Chain A
Amino acid sequence: MSLVSVSPETPAGEAPTAAPSSRAHLRHRFPLTFYIVRRVLAGVVTVLIASAVIFAAITLLPGNVVQIILGRNANPQSVSAIENQLNQGHPAWDRYVHFMGNLFSGHLGYSTAGLVEGQKTSVESIIGPAFAHSAVLAVATLVLFIPMVIVLGLAAGLKAGSVRDTTISVTSLAISSLPEFLVGTLLIVLFFDRLRLLPPVSSVPPGTSPLSNVNILVLPVLTLLLVSLAFGSRVLRACVAEIVSQDYVVLAGIHGYSQRRIVFRYVLPNALPPTVQLIAQQLQYLIGGLVVVESVFAYPGIGTALVNAISVHDVQVVMVVSILLAAFYVMINVVADVVAILLDPRVRTTIS
C-alpha cells in the first residue's frame, strides 16, 4: 500500500530551474532524504493525532470510566486522588497537553485502579515486565516466521496451480480465516487435554523470565505462527508466482540454469521487498494477535495488561498502553516504507 502512495505525490516532470523555492530545490537535490524526512514527519503527526483521538475516546465518551470509578468507590480520599490525577476540573485540551507532556518526559503516571485502592502503583512497574514478556513472544514468533513463510511461499508459488500449491493455498485459506483464540483453544484441547504434553496456561511467576521455562512459550508461539503463516504464505505465493512468470525468469530457464540458481539468483532477490513489507505486516499483526493469544494462555504480556486494565477501568494504564501500541504500529509503517524505498531501485526512481 505504501508503494502506491508514493507515486501520485511525485510531481510529473518538474523542471529543476522552474522552482526557485528552497523546498522544491531540496526535493530535487535530495529526493531520497526529502522523502524519508517527510515520511518520518508524517508518522510523528499521525502518532500525535492518534494519541489525541485515544485520549478523547477514553476520557470523553459517554460511558465515562471516571464516573464509573467514582460511583463505585465512595472513599473521598481516593476520589480526590483520581480527580487530581485526571485533572477533572480542567478543560479536556489542558488535560491532554498535561498528559502528553508527562508521557514525553517519561512520567507514565500512576495506575488509576491502584489509586482507587489507595496505593500509588506506577504504570511503569505494571507495563515494564509486561512489555518484556510480550517482546519474548514476538521475537520468537518472528524468528521462526521469516524462514518458514519464505519456504511455504516458494513451495506454492514456484509451481502455481500444482497439487502442492492447491494444498498449501486451500489449507492456508482455511487456517487464516480462523480467529487466533480458536486456534489457540484447539491447540490446548489437543496438546493438553488429549496428549498431556504442554501446559494450557502460560503463567510467568513475577521476577522470573519466560525463557526459564520454554514449555510455556510453545503453544502461544505455535498459535501465532499458524495464523500468520497461513496469511503470509498466501501473500508471498502470489508474489513469487508473479515473478516466475516474468520474462527474465523464463529466459533463465531457457538458458538451462539450474532450479537452485534461478531461485536464489533471480526469484528470491526480487521477492525481497515484498518480504520486508510482509515482515512489517507481521509485526503489526502481532500487536493485535498478541492481545488475543496472551489472553487465551493467560500469558502476562502487554495484551493481558491492556485487557485487564480495560475491564477494571484503569484509565491511565489503558491510555499509556494504547498510545504506545499505536505509536509502535505507525513506526513500523514508516520504517517499512523507508526500507522499501532503499531496497527497490524501481520505487526509488519513481520518487526522484
Chain B
Amino acid sequence: MRWGTARRVLRQPTGAVGVFILVVILLVAFLGPLVSPHSPTETLGPPNSPPGAGFALGTDFLGRDVLSRLLNGGRSVILIGLSSTLVAYVIGVLAGMYAGYRSGVRDMLTMRTVDLLLAFPPLLVLLVLVAGGGAHIWVLIVGVIAVQAPAIARITRTASLSVRQMPYVEAAQARGDGTARIWRADIFPNILPPLLADFGVRFSISIILIASMNYLGLGLQPPTADWALMMSENRVGITLNPWGVLAPAIALALLTVGVNLVGDAYLRALTRSVLPRGTRRSRLRRRSNGTAAILATLPSSGDAASIDDEVR
C-alpha cells in the first residue's frame, strides 16, 4: 500500500476508526499471550464464577480463566483466515490470468470450473469437507481456499481481459516477449490494484466462515482457546457469568468490524486515487484508460457488498 493511499484511508472517518479498532484487536490477539495472567487451558476455580478476585472476567464452564482464554483465543482465527485468503489469491489470480489471457477453450474450461465451485453454498463446502476429512485445521484452510479462489479468479479474468487489449501488451507481444514475462511485467502489475481492492472484505468473510465452523464445533477442537469456540462452550453458563460469552463476542465483533471498515475505506481510497473527484462510475465505463477502466468494472465503493454477494 502506498503512503498516499494509506493517508486517504486514515482521512476517512470510518477508515480512521477501523484502523484504530484493528490495531487494538491485533495487539490483543498477538501480544495477549505474553501478558495472559493464567494458563488458558488450566482449571483454576469453580466453573462459571462471575468476575471477581483473581479472575478479572470470571471463569468459564470448566473453571478456566476467561481473561487468559480471551488473550490467547484470537491468534488462530486471524492466522488461519489470513493464510487461506492469501493462498486463495495466489491460486485465483493465476487461474484468472490464465483464463483471461488465453481465451477460447482454455478460458471456457477454467471458467466452467469456477462457476461449478461457485454453485455451492460457501458454508456447505466447508461442512462437506469436514464431513469427509474430519474437523482439522487443514480442512478448514482448504475449504476457505475452495470458496474464495473461484471468486478471485472471476474478477482477475475480467480485469486481465481488459488489460490484454492495452497497447503496451500488444507492444510486448510484438517485441517477442515471452508469456511469462508479459504476465509478470505487463499484466500482473496492472490488475493488482483492483484485485486488492476487496482484500479486506474477503479476509473478513474468511474469518466469519472459520469462526462459524469453530462455533458449530466442527473447526478447532477443545481445549483450544478460540473466541468462537468460547462463545459456544460458555452458552450454558450465560446467566451465571455472561462475560464468558460476551468478552469473546466483543473481541470477535471488533475484529470483523475493524477489518471491514478498513477494507471499505481502502476500496474508496483506491478508487479516489485513480479517479478525479466527482467522476461517476457510469461515465467511467465508457472510457478506456488503464486502471480507471478496470476499477470501473468492479462494484463501486458504495456497494462493496456486491463483492461478497458471491461468497455469502
Contact = CB atoms under 8 A, between A and B. Distances in A.
Interface of A: 1, 46, 49-50, 53-54, 57-65, 160, 169-170, 173-174, 176-182, 185-186, 188-189, 192-193, 200, 231, 234-235, 237-239, 241-242, 245, 281, 284-285, 287-288, 291-292, 295-296, 306-307, 309-311, 313, 315, 318, 322, 325-326, 329-330, 333
Given A182-B253, A285-B312, A242 B282 contact: yes
A62 B124 contact: no
Contacts of B242: 189, 193
A288 B257 contact: no
Nearest to B211: A179
A284 B122 CA distance: 10
Interface string B130-149: 11111010010000000000
27 contacts: A46-B116, A58-B128, A58-B132, A60-B132, A65-B132, A173-B261, A176-B305, A177-B257, A179-B208, A179-B212, A181-B212, A181-B231, A182-B252, A182-B253, A185-B231, A185-B249, A200-B238, A235-B305, A238-B302, A245-B280, A245-B282, A281-B309, A287-B121, A287-B123, A307-B127, A311-B217, A326-B120
B119 A326 contact: yes
Interface in B255-312: 256-257, 259-261, 264, 280, 282, 299-300, 302-306, 308-310, 312
Interface of B: 14, 115-116, 119-124, 127-134, 136, 139, 204, 208, 211-212, 215-218, 228, 231-232, 235, 238-239, 242, 245-246, 249, 252-253, 256-257, 259-261, 264, 280, 282, 299-300, 302-306, 308-310, 312
A235 B218 CA distance: 31
Contact of B245 (A170, A189, A309, A311): A189
A288 B131 contact: no
Contacts of B216: 291-292, 295, 307
Contacts of B309: 1, 231, 235, 281
Contact of A310 (B218, B245, B308): B218
Given A179-B211, A281-B309, A288-B121, A174 B128 contact: no
Nearest to B234: A185
B238 A63 contact: no
The B contact surface, by secondary structure, is helix
B238 A189 contact: yes
A176 B249 CA distance: 15
A179 to B, nearest CB: 4
Nearest to B310: A1
Nearest to A245: B280
